[in-house]
Amino acid sequence: MMIHTHSRNLVSPKNKFQVIPVIGLQWGDEGKGKGVARIANVLNKNDLIVRFQGGNNAGHTIWHKGKCFVFHLIPSGVFGKAKIHLGAGMVINPGALAKEAKEIPKNISFLNRMSVSPHAVLTIPTHLILDSVSEKTKGKKKIGSTGKGISPSYTDLTLRRALRVGDIFYSDFRKKYEMLRDEHKKTLHQNFNYDVSAPELKEAEQNFWLGIKFLRSLQIIESAEIVTKTLSKKHKVIAEGAQGSLLDVRFGHYPFVTSSHTISGGVATGLGIPPSYIGGAIGILKAYVTKVGEGPFPTELGGKESSVWCRDKKVNDEKAKFPEPDPESKSEFEQGIALRKFGHEIGATTGRLRRTGWIDIPLLKYAIKINGVEELVLTKLDVLSGFKKIKVCTQYIIDGKKTSEIPFDLARVNVKAIYKSFPVWRGKLSDYGKKLPKEALIYVKFLEKILEFIKGIFPDTDTLIKDVNFE
């Protein structure tokens, strides 16, 4: 279920003709894909949905006509009418893109609406090997990457040797590819004592070249051109973020981050457009928090025990050991497992167990601030129905002092979360029709107030009830 804090008309006077970023405010998996898919339903064929960063590390789960689809590279608006664009700031694995395109039902015509930036970076098969081998050698210090070659792909961009989509149309492309691949093999051998075998690369390279063939058949358009054209004709442009703000390469919890700019500022550099083209962001937050991979997580249920469990165990291990986890268990670790079960919190890209915890206000305020969020969308509130009591972290205690500030390096300080508890409604939210039960309303109102989204944006209860959208 999603709740809009207010139903902004996508072309309200303030945001007229500006790109609207849709940004995750936590560690990803907030439901951005669903949000964008929903927005896509009200867009028309002249509007545009763009991705501006990331690659197939993203996993956007969309339900369409009773079937579940997970998109990694293709913008979530694929089932709507609007044009879709894979922007300059992305890293694109050609084989993965071709595979994803094939999985879209035949009756959905989208190739005529889809374009790709020539500036987007290509992920090549050896990027994936570099990613997994370097993670393995880090041992306990690993980042917990998705293994999709994202960091090595962006590294090659800044090393100024990356292959980009525009390169595939030149006759020297194969030669350039082989040179880069061989550089990677050398690095793997010299730095990691790892020798890439021919069979290991064979299938991946076959898929890569099939992907290149597919890419060549697509419309290649500069992001700035398609965005500017769309805006100048007074149509709407939605910039679909991938990952979450706390995974931003500079402003997330470095080094436990992805390698791109996931925040709204990334829209300008990811598309090559002036910052003045970018409007206030729509921030998506989940009614609790999840995280995949390593790194600090102050409100994690079960703390270290949970992070180690999620790192080392698979879904089936968890099902076998905790077939019916008790949300009221005395053990917070078990409560976290219950939350994972109720919310189906399994990584959409990697199948990993997502770490779970309570909403964290200091981190949310930080994310709202750095993104310039003007509208909030709360997702998955209904998942909390299984609990009798839920919590919100309102502040931290660091070095014996209460604070709402985010330290420079969250991983190096001892953070204790201060919580406020809320009672939970009885039964499911859907039992209450279009209204929210009293307890849910109190919880949502509290979030609005503490996040300072109440003034002017969400004036009264009636508005909330009117704006509640059930999935």
216-275 positions binding ligand IMP, by CB under 6 A: 242-243, 247, 256, 258-259
Minimum CB–partner distance for residue 76 and ligand IMP (Å) = 12
List the structure tokens of 113.
């609406």
Annotated active-site residue 235? The verdict is no
Burial of 34 (0-12, 13-18, 19+ CB in 10 A): buried
Task: Please name which of 359, 327, 328 lies closest in space to residue 340, comparing C-alpha atoms.
Answer: 327
Cα-to-chain-centroid distance, residue 31: 8
Minimum CB–partner distance for residue 146 and ligand IMP (Å) = 3
Q: How many CB atoms lie within 10 A of CB 104?
A: 17
288, amino acid identity: Y
Q: Give the active site residue among 4, 47, 60, 156.
A: 60
- How far is it, in rounded angstroms, from Cα 141 to Cα 68? 35
List the structure tokens of 401.
């002092």
User: Residue 93, interface with ligand IMP (CB under 6 A)?
Assistant: no
Burial of 460 (0-12, 13-18, 19+ CB in 10 A): exposed
The interface mask with ligand IMP, positions 124-143, x = CB under 6 A, is: -------------------x
Q: Closer CB to ligand IMP, residue 121 or residue 231?
A: 121
Minimum CB–partner distance for residue 460 and ligand IMP (Å) = 35
Q: Which of 56, 115, 151, 245 binds ligand IMP (CB under 6 A)?
A: 151
User: Residue 145, interface with ligand IMP (CB under 6 A)?
Assistant: yes
Q: Which of 19, 29, 362, 371 binds ligand IMP (CB under 6 A)?
A: 29
User: Residue 306, interface with ligand IMP (CB under 6 A)?
Assistant: no
Q: What is the largest CA-CA distance in the chain?
A: 66
Q: Give the active site residue among 4, 29, 248, 382.
A: 29
User: Residue 73, interface with ligand IMP (CB under 6 A)?
Assistant: no
How do strand 83-86 and strand 121-122 relate by DSSP bridges? unpaired
Q: Which of 1, 20, 22, 28 binds ligand IMP (CB under 6 A)?
A: 28
Minimum CB–partner distance for residue 160 and ligand IMP (Å) = 20
Task: Please name which of 216, 266, 333 lies closest in space to residue 54, comparing C-alpha atoms.
Answer: 266
286-305 positions binding ligand IMP, by CB under 6 A: 292-293
DSSP assignment letter at 386: G
Q: Which of 1, 25, 58, 97 binds ligand IMP (CB under 6 A)?
A: 58
Q: Which of 19, 20, 78, 150 binds ligand IMP (CB under 6 A)?
A: 150
- How far is it, in rounded angstroms, from Cα 247 to Cα 26? 8
User: Residue 59, interface with ligand IMP (CB under 6 A)?
Assistant: yes
User: Residue 152, interface with ligand IMP (CB under 6 A)?
Assistant: no
Residue nearest to ligand IMP (CB): 293
Minimum CB–partner distance for residue 294 and ligand IMP (Å) = 6
Contact between 55 and 148 (Cβ < 8 Å): yes
Task: Please name which of 223, 119, 208, 202 lies closest in space to residue 163, comparing C-alpha atoms.
Answer: 119
- How far is it, in rounded angstroms, from Cα 232 to Cα 235? 7
Q: Closer CB to ligand IMP, residue 68 or residue 198?
A: 68
Size of the site for ligand IMP (CB under 6 A): 21
Minimum CB–partner distance for residue 425 and ligand IMP (Å) = 29
Q: Closer CB to ligand IMP, residue 292 or residue 353?
A: 292
Annotated active-site residue 399? The verdict is no
- How far is it, in rounded angstroms, from Cα 282 to Cα 234? 20
Contact between 286 and 29 (Cβ < 8 Å): yes
Task: Please name which of 208, 300, 267 lies closest in space to residue 54, comparing C-alpha atoms.
Answer: 267
Interface residue list for ligand IMP (CB under 6 A) = 27-29, 57-59, 143-146, 148, 150-151, 242-243, 247, 256, 258-259, 292-293
Question: Active-site residues: which are they?
Answer: 29, 60
